[in-house]
Structure 1
Amino acid sequence: MKPEMITLKHGDTTIKMPTSSLVKLAAASVFAQVLPPAANVQPVAIGEIPALGAVWPGQGGLNGGLVAERGDVPAHYLIFASEDAGSHEWGRRGETSGATSKTDGLANSAILLEEGSHPAAKAASQYTADDHNDFYLPAAAELYQGWLNCPEVFAQDCYYWSSSQRSAYNAFSVTFDDGHQGTTGKDHELRVRPVRRFFI
Structure 2
Amino acid sequence: MAITQETIQEETKKLGEMIARFESIGVNVGDAKVWAERLLAKLNASAATVLSVPGIEITLAPGERYAGLLLNEEGKPSHHLVLLPGEFEDVSWDAAKSAAEKAGGELPSRREQSLLFANLKSEFKAAWYWSSEQASSDGAWTQYFDDGYQSTGIKKFEGRARLVRRLFL
1:58-87, CA deviations, whole angstroms, 9 ceiling, x for partnerless residues?
A: 38611111112558x973210011221333
Instruction: Confirm whether residue 64 of structure 1 aligns to residue 34 of structure 2.
Output: no
Hey, what's the Cα distance between the residues in 1 that align with 2:120 and 2:108?
A: 15
Instruction: Confirm whether residue 148 of structure 1 aligns to residue 134 of structure 2.
Output: no
Instruction: Confirm whether residue 121 of structure 1 aligns to residue 102 of structure 2.
Output: no
What is the aligned length? 117
Please tell me whether the aligned partners of residues 161 and 173 of structure 1 are also in contact (alpha carbons under 8 angstroms).
Answer: yes
Q: 1:79 aligns with which of 79, 82, 86?
A: 82
Higher relative contact order (CA 8 A, sep 6+): 1
**Counterpart residue number, 1:102:** none
1:28-70, CA deviations, whole angstroms, 9 ceiling, x for partnerless residues?
A: xxxxxxxxxxxxxxxx454x979xxxxx633861111111255
Hey, what's the Cα distance between the residues in 2 that align with 1:62 and 1:189?
A: 25
Name the SS of the counterpart of 2:147 in structure 1: coil
Q: 1:172 aligns with which of 133, 141, 146?
A: 141
Distance change >3 Å, CA 74–CA 180, structure 1 → 2: closer
Structure with bigger helix share is 2
Hey, what's the Cα distance between the residues in 1 that align with 2:153 and 2:89?
A: 17
Identical aligned pairs, as a percentage?
31
Distance change >3 Å, CA 86–CA 49, structure 1 → 2: farther
CA offset at residue 195 of structure 1?
Answer: 0.5
Structure with bigger strand share is 2
**Counterpart residue number, 1:182:** 151
CA offset at residue 123 of structure 1?
Answer: 1.0
Hey, what's the Cα distance between the residues in 1 that align with 2:160 and 2:125?
A: 9
Gaps of 5+ in 1: 1-43, 51-55, 91-117, 128-132
Structure 1 letter corresponding to 2:99: A
CA offset at residue 169 of structure 1?
Answer: 2.3
Hey, what's the Cα distance between the residues in 1 that align with 2:53 and 2:133?
A: 33
Please provide the CA RMSD for this pair: 2.9
Name the SS of the counterpart of 1:178 in structure 2: coil
